[in-house]
Amino acid sequence: MTRMKKWLAGFTVLSAVLASTAWAHVPVTRCTLQADNRVECQTRYDDNSIAADILMGLYAYDDSLLLTGRSDVKGVYHFTLPDQPFYLLMDAGPGHVFEVDWRDIDGINPQLFAAVSAQ
């Protein structure tokens, strides 16, 4: 292979890799409080494809880790409602993180942690 053909082949491969990175999916999740005091989160990408086996981290407002787990093959993640304000981080890799604050979870009373927040 000539030097020019090698360069062109390398450039083509590099372009394909960079293009696929530019079109990477953006992770999103929607969470709902269930009747049993558990929270169910549906993890997806912005094209509505399932985000299976994605790292999920539940954090207190002081950034201490309360719980960690992964979404299942259907893109579902469950956790028990903690007794303090929290946020959930969906981590699908570098640059692909989505955060859900407890206030954004459907079904949670906005006054739930009012006493804790006032301290």
Residue 70 has pLDDT above 80, yes or no: yes
Specify if 76 maps to a domain: yes
Specify if 54 maps to a domain: yes
Nearest to 49 by CA among 66, 64, 71, 32: 71
The number of distinct structural domains making up the chain is 1
The rounded Cα 51 to chain-centroid distance in angstroms is 9
Domain that holds residue 44: 25-118
- In our burial notation (b when 16+ CB lie closer than 10 A, e otherwise), range 59-85 reads beeeeeeeeeeebeeebebebebeeeb
Nearest to 57 by CA among 86, 94, 35, 36: 86
Residue 66 has pLDDT above 70, yes or no: yes
Specify if 19 maps to a domain: no
Specify if 34 maps to a domain: yes
Q: What is the pLDDT of residue 118?
A: 53
Q: Which two tokens stand for residue 67?
A: 């719980």
Specify if 105 maps to a domain: yes
Backbone angles phi and psi of 111, in degrees to 5: -90, 5
| 4-45 pLDDT per residue, tens | 444 444 434 434 444 444 445 788 999 999 999 999 999 999
| 77-112 pLDDT per residue, tens | 999 999 999 999 999 988 889 999 999 999 999 898
Do the Cβ atoms of 33 and 106 come closer than 8 Å?
yes
Specify if 12 maps to a domain: no
CATH number of domain containing 83: 2.60.40.10
- Taking the model in full, what pTM does it have? 0.75
Q: What is the pLDDT of residue 25?
A: 74
